[in-house]
Amino acid sequence: MDFAAALSEAGMQEVHLGIFDLDGIFCHKLVPAAKAAKLAKAGYSFCDVIHAWDSAERTWDDHRTYIDRPASIDTETLRQWPFGPGAGVCIADFTGAFGAHSPRNQLRRQLGRAADMGFAVHAAFEFEFFLLQETADSLRAKDWRNLEHFAKANRTYSLKSAAQHGALFDGLRAVMATLGIGLDSLHSELGPGCFEAPLAVAEGMRAADDAALFRNFAKAYFARNALTAVFMSKLDPELSGQSGHFHISLRDRQGAPVFADPSAPQGLSQTAPHFLGGLIALMPEMVVLTAHTVNAYKRMVPGAWAPTWASWGVQNRTCAVRIINDDPQATRLEFRVPSADTNPHATMALCLAAGLWGVETAAEPPPETTDCAYDLAPPPGLGFPRDLIAAADRLEASDTARALFGDVFVDHFVRSRRFEAADYLREVTPWELRRYLELG
């Protein structure tokens, strides 16, 4: 595309250029449109520190010089800035050898594999989130305790919440419409101030880009309204976990759904079980790619509406993978492991890499789980790691993950997660004070 012409036609005088870090944060700079057009041709550069620090901007590698690395602007991702006229938003990413560190680039590779196998990938995320009647100032003044929830009387699928807070959510829909992000629906969920936004299906990279931008811009929108949107996996032990369920299907070169065969048992084609078999087999050793925080493993416990092992079932919401087969044109897999703070590019890369590996190797899934998965003991090898350290160890030891993603990415991701876990282990929590302060 002629990027300069596209900027001019859209009336954009400036562009927010950004790269997603390992946690899915959109790290960006605002540049004049003329400079953006020049960088799109000549190449872009960005400081590599965003692949050397954690979500608190604490670096884990003290021996690096933190130089600018070559990057490229993906001009096809141009969108309208939603908080004022005359500006655009565009995604970039690192290129060359350093680009292997990026989950988005890893997803690009897996999408290329799918295309080589004759598949187009259609996907969508859905996010649950809490809204707090808090600002950055009030959170710090309270030391993140005794927080005030927005919409305290909220109930799941509540008409009252829709009527009472309609204007606020009309504004959210307008922001997303400006960005070109479709919302399949929007409704209240389980818990005070809890809401869910399933995104509209998109093809290829667009699905993960939409998800990552949704979360970044939703937080910004609600902050502009003196609210805090919380996407963390588990906000409170008394509240349900927050999901980021991921739906995926494949289509062939003629546009026909690959997973569907109305004449077969459960309406599933021969390809669907192999894709499912790959995902089930590799999920336990690669789960850290989608559950990449300490907090994520506090959601994956019985009673938190989250999977606890690599199971599957038709329309079974207690499983890690739910088969949705009520419409052949929309037959798909719902990967229910991701939480709302997952990195969408890493999650989609995991799911696609594992599924395609299953198709290539004719992997067979274990028997379907027809009962409540929480009541069953996981078969050998299908249990999830119980914490971030164990999950990082599983990824490091996975020869299949290294074959699919490369040593550079696996070692980089593992190192980042070990730093995150080590930082947590140094903390003394309120639970520990209550439990042990008076002991002995």
163: CB partners within 8 A, 6+ apart: none
CATH number at residue 57: 3.10.20.70
Please determine, for residue 1, whether its predicted confidence score (pLDDT) is greater than 90.
no
Going by their DSSP bridges, the two strands 202-203 and 246-251 should be labelled as unpaired
Task: Determine contact, residues 269/262, Cβ cutoff 8 Å.
Answer: no
Task: Retrieve residue 120's tokens.
Answer: 């187009």
Tell me: the pLDDT tens digits for 316-332?
Answer: 999 999 999 999 999 99
Q: What is the domain count for the chain?
A: 2
Q: Which residues contact 262 (CB under 8 A, 6 or more apart)?
A: 328
For residue 428, name the pLDDT band (cuts at 50, 70, 90): very high
Residue 106 placed within a domain: no
Angle between helices 271-286 and 344-361 (to 10 degrees): 130
Residues 6+ apart with CB under 8 A from 386: 297
Domain that holds residue 13: 3-101
pLDDT of residue 127: 98
Q: Which residue has the tokens 């997803």?
A: 107
**Which 3 state secondary structure label does DSSP give 78?**
strand
Query: Among residues 378, 385, 272, which one has the least CA distance to residue 324?
Result: 272
**Tens of pLDDT along 58-109?**
898 766 788 999 999 999 999 999 999 999 999 999 999 999 999 999 999 9
Tell me how far apart the alpha carbons of residues 174 and 384 are, in angstroms, rounded to a whole number.
Answer: 39
Domain finish residue from 60, 77, 101: 101
Locate 160 and state its tokens: 């009252």
Q: Are residues 342 and 310 in the same domain?
A: yes
Instruction: Summarize pLDDT for 266-324 with one digit per residue, the tens.
Output: 899 999 999 999 999 999 999 999 999 999 999 998 877 799 999 999 999 999 999 99
Q: Identify whether 18 is part of a domain.
A: yes
Would 144 be classed as within a structural domain? yes
Please state, for a pLDDT cut of 70, what percent of the chain lies above it: 99
What mean pLDDT value characterizes the chain?
Answer: 95
DSSP assignment of 334-373 equals: EE---BTTS-HHHHHHHHHHHHHHHHHHT--PPPP--S-G
pLDDT of residue 210: 98
Task: Give tens-digit pLDDT for 342-395.
Answer: 999 999 999 999 999 999 999 999 999 999 999 999 999 999 999 999 999 999
pLDDT at site 197: 97
118 and 72 in a common domain: no
Q: Do 347 and 259 have their domain in common? A: yes
Per-residue buried b or exposed e for 150-168, using 16+ beta carbons within 10 Å of the residue's own CB? bbeebeeebeebeeebeeb
Domain of 307, CATH number, reads 3.30.590.10
pTM: 0.96
Q: Count of CB atoms within 10 A of residue 179's CB?
A: 18
